[in-house]
Structure 1
């Protein structure tokens, strides 16, 4: 299996994966090739590594689905990319905590590949995921979204806080692929210095002599509504039954378009004082629940990736 010319971007979700996929990985003049890509990331990766039946998974057969794309990219002098943020986990799926199993499958198919992992400060990640859950039709309060206090044994909240102990997944990938084959970057570096962020990725895969024009990349925006808008959205979700597990799953649906436009308008005209009050409540609630949960993990992560995460606002 010739996969030494392959970069696998595994997420995490809510770390500007779309920005990478649309601004960097799809551009041949950036040195990358993603021949398996559709309009949304690489859905073939979900089929082959996440939803595949465990008894049917075969590394050789799986590799054959990617072989031609890898060869074509290599012949063109490009670096192949598999980019799918759900390879790490899926916060909005009760069964979406498959990080270790997917890592094993990826390594069995592409043992020489390089791996890119993007992390995000935990409180910010939780709030971003909660906002996405509401936008997809969720009805939970922030307490219900993250707390195990009111759940019976064997039942779990949608968002499991332990998944943000990044050192566990990072260490496992380093053990599988090799420490030098895994690059971990904080999402906050992209917000602070996008040029440095991109250069880290280029240096990691050995792409040289590329001019990085900041003007050509997509604008990094906040996809969520503001806090009080989300509160109204959550209340209204109780009066609708959305397709597919209670989520709005099609941007072409009339209902989806109407809600999108309505809440976008609300987001602009709701007084900022109300938005700030609700954000303060959400921030305090999340801080109360997580307490010092991630300090030790962030310290270990800083050591693993040789980067001081406290400089990016992580609890260390």
Structure 2
């Protein structure tokens, strides 16, 4: 097997990225190595955040030359993993191709891992994450596209969830044989098979390992309270102009999610979740079927078995 010189994992968001980063790529007994451990924000600061006219791929590559050499000398695949590499869902992934271009110019020899998640499930999970990150809008507000003909600022766009486009973009940038697409649902149902496929892709030995849940889902009831806190106390990019700004209000209140979440009846929590699910299903009924058909063709995955929307087939006598 030929070992990949570099692996870049771009997400998407809400696809077990934390589990992969913490329990596989950074595990001491794994055939992978990461440059910053749990300080992945450094990758974002260096690769995602620079203004387009200021990014220097050569300088960024130099920062990692020592890490790349050490990893390869140790027989490990160096991994650069950050879900922000695929864009940010709440802003429609406006910079996803900019980041892809930066990654290609910085690591032209990289192999690419893209992990997808069924769109309706992903949107629901990302809406909760948006609240956790500091947003206060309702689901309707979160999904809205005010002044779509102007787009003065990035906003939610369902185009972000037509995964085949970004996947094809990476194939064109790096080559079809160096871009692997896997489904989050594969990881949930058969994590060992998921990891084995990845290891074969990058040319390293696969060893069975168990994964633990890293990010516990918050109660829907608690998230309603979090929205109120974000609106009144948290002045951040997702909730500007707090009535009574308080430092780190979102993060501080979020630490209470587990004890407060237990107070509410599970039936109430399920009712609120069902209402959100219903609204998302109504809004995006069939919206991603054609894209998923394209994605199946590009990846070879059977997405239908995981509940992804696909075009309906009709038979005629």
Q: Determine the structure 2 residue equivalent to 1:102.
A: 99
Bigger drift between 101-110 and 3-12 goes to 3-12
CA distance in 2, matches of 1:231, 1:28: 39
Q: Distance in 1 between matches of 2:148 and 2:166?
A: 27
| Unmatched segments (≥5 aa) in structure 1 | 248-252
5 Å-filtered alignment, 1:165-244, equals 165-208=162-205, 210-214=206-210, 217=211, 219-220=212-213, 223-242=216-235
Q: SS of the residue aligned with 1:239?
A: helix
Whether the 8 Å CA contact 1:151–1:157 is kept in 2: the answer is: no
TM-score (norm: length of structure 2): 0.87
Deviations 1:201-255 (A, max 9, x none): 11111112x43132xx3x12553322233223323433223456649xxxxx785
Pick from 74, 77, 85 the counterpart of residue 76 of structure 1. 74
1:13 aligns with 2:22: no
TM norm structure 1: 0.87
Are 1:144 and 2:141 an aligned pair? yes
Match of 2:130 among 107, 114, 133: 133
Aligned partners of 1:237, 1:87: CA distance in 2, in Å? 26
1:37 equivalenced with 2:30 (yes/no): no
SS state of the match for residue 269, structure 1?
A: coil
Q: 2 CA distance for matches of 1:280 and 1:197?
A: 30
* Cα distance change, pair 80–88 in 1 and its aligned pair in 2 (3 A): same
- Structure 2 distance, partners of 1:261, 1:107, is 38
Are 1:10 and 1:84, in contact at CA under 8 Å, matched by a contact in 2? yes
Match of 1:113 in 2: 110
Q: Is the 8 A contact 2:131 2:226 kept in 1?
A: yes
Note the C-alpha offset of 1:115.
Answer: 0.3
CA contact (8 A) 1:132 1:224 kept: no
**Which of residues 253, 257, 260 is equivalent to 1:263?**
257
Structure 2's unaligned 5+ residue stretches are 241-246, 311-317
1:272 and 2:269 equivalent? no
Residue in structure 1 matched with residue 301 of structure 2 by the alignment? 307
**Residues 137-161 of structure 1, C-alpha deviations (whole Å, 9 max, x = no match):** 311110110122x546424774221
1:285 equivalenced with 2:279 (yes/no): yes
